Every structure is written in C-alpha cells, then in structure tokens.
Chain A
C-alpha cells in the first residue's frame, strides 16, 4: 500500500464520519456541492483532518480544495510525502 493509498483510506474514513446524508463518495466528490456541507461542518472536518495528520490546512489552502482527491494530494504535500 502506497502512502497515497493510506492517506486516501484515512480521509475516506473521516469523510464517512461527516457524511450524514450517506452520499456515495469518490475522489471526484465535491465537499460543498455534492456533500452539501455547511461552513461549520467544513471547519470541523478540516480540524479532524489536521488532527489525523498533524498538519495545518489554512483557510487560504482549503479554499483551493474542492474534491476528496484534491484533499488527498494536498495532505500529501503538506506532510512532504507527495
């Protein structure tokens, strides 16, 4: 299993915790439009991802991340593993 696969598993697990509407999730799933998360949910999710990987995702960076796949890659960059 590659580092990216491990990150993907962990992020999918975290997405599932916040996916209250049970929407099917792929790497193309968009947080705002597809999962319909409000800003508070997004903040809690970002905090959970930060805690999981011990990183900081600034609001500037988060604004550029629209999909699950983009988040997996961004976390890799922030951890220096990409």
Chain B
C-alpha cells in the first residue's frame, strides 16, 4: 500500500456524489429567491401549549403538528416523565436486548396491550423503525409484500431492507389488491401492508374490504395506524377498530410521536410466536432503547387516551367544521368529506403553495407545505392537522386566516 492510500481521488476523475441532488438544490434556491421563509426550516422559539407557539417572534396557532389529542402538556404525562428522569436517569445507553430494557419499557408495553386488547406489544425507538423492523423481518427473500402505492417511506424502506418481492397496487383500490393477491403463488408467504389514515390527504382506507380479501388469499395483514391512534374508533384503536376488523389484523404498527405526544414506535399483535421478534428484528436489536422519561410519558399518555371520548368528540367536531368552512370559502380539499384530523388543502402549484404558506404564517397560522415526492400525483398541498385542544374560537380564527391569505395570494 502506498502513502497515497485513503486520499480523495484527484479532482476531475470522479463525479461529485452531490451532483444527483443538484435539481433539488436549484429548485430550493429558486423558491427562496422569491423571498419566502424556508418552509422546511421554521423554528418554534417557544411552545406555549399544544395549539400555540411563538414562531419568528409572533404568536402562531399550530395547525401543522401531529399533536392530535393534545397530550404534550398533560400534567399527568409530564409528572410521569419527570419522575422517571429523576429515578432512572436521562438515558439507557443500550439496546433493548442487551442492557436497555428498563421497568418503564415493560410498563409501556403493558399499556399498549391494555389499549389494543392484544396479547403482545413491542416498543421501538421510532415509528419508522417499527415499520422497518417488522416488515423486513416478517417478509424474507421469497415472500411477497403487497402494498398500497401511497405507502409511507418507512414501509418502502422496510421492503427494501428485507429483500422480499414487492407488489404495489393503486391507492385504496380493493379490486386491484384482490386481483394481485389471486395471481400470487398459493404456497408463497404473503404480507399485505395497509395504512388506516394516509397522511398526505388524510383519507382513510377501506380496511373492512381489504382485510377480507387479504385473509381470503391466506395473507397476513399489517396496518399502520400512526395517524388514527387515539382518535378514530370507539376506543381510539384506529380505523381497523372503527370498521370492525381489528381482530383479523395480524400486526398493528403505531407511533408515540402523534396522538401519544412523545417519540417512539410500536407493534402489537395476537400472534402466539410474536415474542421471537425481539431476537431477530434488527431495527429492534441494533439500536439504543428509548429513554426512561420517554416511555414513562408514553405509558401514561396511552392509558389516558383510552378514556378520552370527550376529546375524540371535540376533535371530530373541529374536523367537520374546518373541512366544511374551507370548502365553503372555495378551497379544493384532499377529501370530499372529513375523514380524519388531517385536512389537505390542494394548491395549484409549488409557487402559489409556498406563497400561501408564507401568507398564513404572516397571519399567525402554521401548517405544513407538502410537495412531491412526499405527495401523491405530483400535488402541492397545505396539510392542516387539527388538535383536540383547538378551541371553537381558534377554529374560527383559522378560517378567517385562510380567507385573508387565500384572497391575498389569489388562490380563492
């Protein structure tokens, strides 16, 4: 080996690995040159409550968080976190399998089992890792994963990590799913992956029909209920509960970063062999476990969500009013009817979407600007996520802000 080994290749002989990002760099620079605030770099300087923060020195109503049930400032949740921080320290420093399973992790899994009425629960460090881990571990090289084309990136990444054969079908199309299932080899392992609520448009899946055709084909079913937990279904167990098919679902995946109000991910299941996953699931084994304060806040919050019917009712009322109000103002929405806490306002293009986002921020309202490739069909949209703690007055304020900003930008 010569002394030159390890030095970068001389200029001009190898491509700059950043070249592939140039179109995105150009698009971002063009957008920012119009003078808009960077929509992907907003800093909340102070958070006053689940619905209000100070952004750029201004009081801003938050309509772009996933804090659907407003749990982030619940006094019981905060007290549980502080107690665990004092008693167990700031972090576990290790993996669940070796040195990172604390009493709090077990209690959190017990809370999940109570919440879903299921036999097994496994807590991951994020929701992303829960999908990555379960899908890649369950579906190996000769198995098939059948997924909705609009599936979340964590689902696609779980497929890529596991080397399974991947079959996509058109969004929410039961017939397309059934047709593909029937063409797969009868003897092959099959995992159908669905989501309860699709986060970009806020639409729900026809799980009743989809689970039925999947089971008829001998497939196992995984449903990601990240955006429905706590809110949809009589006990807040999600779209599968609401449509009466929770018992037929093999795996429910969820997150603590939305309705639960902290960070983390999980999988619950009734499968009798489920516990073996703790030894074979790489995104569970090879990562640090959640800090004790986080699992303590999660466990407390999950128990509180079970009895949160009043909050669920209020959130549905907010969703119906905002959806109806925006429609009446002349905005184009992602769904005909309110189906979840997410209301997507479709923008004509990225430029006007960014201008509208900026105008809303000036009015004192924060929403998410979403654009391809995160969105389906090349759409640019403003994604509004309601919280159970938005007051009636705030929903009225939000509609007023949309009207003012929409007229100023020329979207309505």
For the complex of A and B, 6 pairs with smallest distance between CB atoms: A59-B166, A58-B165, A56-B183, A43-B149, A58-B167, A58-B166
Bound together, the chains give a CA A41 to CA B376 distance in angstroms of 12
A53 CB to nearest chain B CB (Å): 10
CB pair B180 A50 closer than 8 Å: yes
State the CA gap A60–B147 with chains docked (Å).
Answer: 13
**Which size class do A's interface residues fall under?**
10 to 19
Flag if A38 contacts B378 (CB, 8 Å): yes
**Can you name the residue of chain B whose Cβ is closest to the Cβ of A54?**
B183
Cβ of A8 to closest chain B Cβ, rounded Å:
22
Q: Most chain-B CB neighbours within 10 Å: which of A40, A43, A55, A56?
A: A56
A23 — which chain B residues lie within 8 A by C-beta? none
Q: What A residues does B179 contact at CB under 8 A?
A: 51
- SS class, residues of chain A in contact with chain B: helix
Q: Which residues of B contact A39 (CB under 8 A)?
A: 373
**Which A19-43 residues have C-beta < 8 A from chain B?**
38-40, 43
Contact call A44/B170, Cβ cutoff below 8 A: yes
Question: What CA separation (Å) do A39 and B183 show in the bound complex?
Answer: 23
Given the contacts A50-B180, A56-B180, A40 and B166 also touching, CB distance less than 8 Å: no
Which single residue of chain A is at the shortest CB-CB distance from B164? A60
What are the interface flags for B366-400 relative to A under an 8 Å C-beta threshold, 1 for contact and 0 otherwise? Answer: 00000001001110000000000000000000000
Instruction: List residues of chain B with CB under 8 Å of any chain A CB.
Output: 144, 149, 159, 165-170, 176, 179-180, 183-184, 373, 376-378
Q: Measured between C-beta atoms, what is the minimum distance from B372 to chain A in Å?
A: 9
Q: What residues of B have a CB within 8 angstroms of the CB of A38 in the complex?
A: 378
Binding site for B on A (CB under 8 A): 38-40, 43-44, 47, 50-51, 54-56, 58-60
* B167 with A43: CB separation less than 8 A: no
B residues near A50, Cβ cutoff 8 Å: 180, 183
Q: Which residues of B contact A51 (CB under 8 A)?
A: 179
Pairwise interchain contact B183-A59, C-beta atoms closer than 8 A: no
Q: Which residue of A lies closest to B376 (CB)?
A: A40
